[in-house]
Amino acid sequence: MPEIYISVDVETDGPIPGANSMLSLGAVAFAPSREQLGSFSINLVELSGAAPDPKTAEWWATQLEAWKAARTDPQPPLPAMRRFAQWVKAMCEIAGPGVKPVFVGYPAGFDFLFVYWYLIKLTGESPFSFSALDIKTYAAAVLGCEFREVNKQRLKRFREPNLPHTHVAIDDALEQGYLFLNLKAERDRLAEHT
């Protein structure tokens, strides 16, 4: 089945959806050929009844530029997630008939948790179904090392030097998308030699 990769990054005000809110969502769609198909970025209004986590609020106090970016023009969560789901479906249509999206995150266990919860809670469906790829897990498999051995130093050669990690959702989605694609290219290179 043909697929595209949707690199997603979220910024939140705490560790769990529902109790805490997703503040911003950035996504970049890539074809397996590395072609960038499109990007999506939106800031969200906090959930009614949710509250910021104190430890996360302390961290945000050290990231003032990223905080400002995450709080510019926030949109209500329901229309925001509808727009995101429609965008994912549109990216699949651009890529061709029968194409399915794969959510790519770092860590997917965090980003997918928020995105999936928001999609199901607010729209009743997820265009990803349960398809989420964790870049750190993927790197451990490609590099033949243990999961906990995957760190910044080990991944340095796979990062694009001109794409910094800014904690602005769309910037980080682009940065980690290319990290994944570079790891995928390494996997393909290694497969040719076996």
As a whole number, mean pLDDT of residues 119-148 equals 97
pLDDT at 26: 98
From the DSSP assignment, how many helices (H) and strands (E) are in the chain?
7, 5
What mean pLDDT do residues 48-64 have?
Answer: 98
Q: Which of 37, 25, 128 is nearest to 81 (CA)?
A: 25
Please indicate whether residue 165 is annotated as part of the active site: no
pLDDT at 192 over 90: no
| pLDDT above 80 (res 14) | yes
What is the percent of the chain where pLDDT is above 90?
A: 95
Q: Residue 52 has what pLDDT?
A: 98
What does the pLDDT read at residue 145?
96
Q: Write down the pLDDT at residue 193.
A: 80
Mean pLDDT of 6-12: 98
Domain that holds residue 85: 3-192
CATH number at residue 136: 3.30.420.10
Nearest to 120 by CA among 9, 17, 10, 7: 17
3-class DSSP assignment, residue 137? helix
Residue 75: per-residue pLDDT: 98
| Whole-number percent of the chain with pLDDT over 70 | 100
Q: How many domains does the chain divide into?
A: 1
Task: Give the pLDDT confidence score for residue 61 in this predicted structure.
Answer: 98
pLDDT at 1 over 80: no
Q: Angle 108-123/77-95 helices, nearest 10 degrees?
A: 110
From the list 167, 177, 182, 184, the catalytic residue is 167
Amino acid sitting at position 70: A
Strand order in the sheet with 36-43: 36-43, 22-30, 3-12, 100-105, 132-134
Average pLDDT, the chain: 96
Q: How far apart are CA 33 and CA 1, in angstroms?
A: 15
Q: What is the pTM of this model?
A: 0.96
Q: Look-up: residue for tokens 């340095």?
A: 156
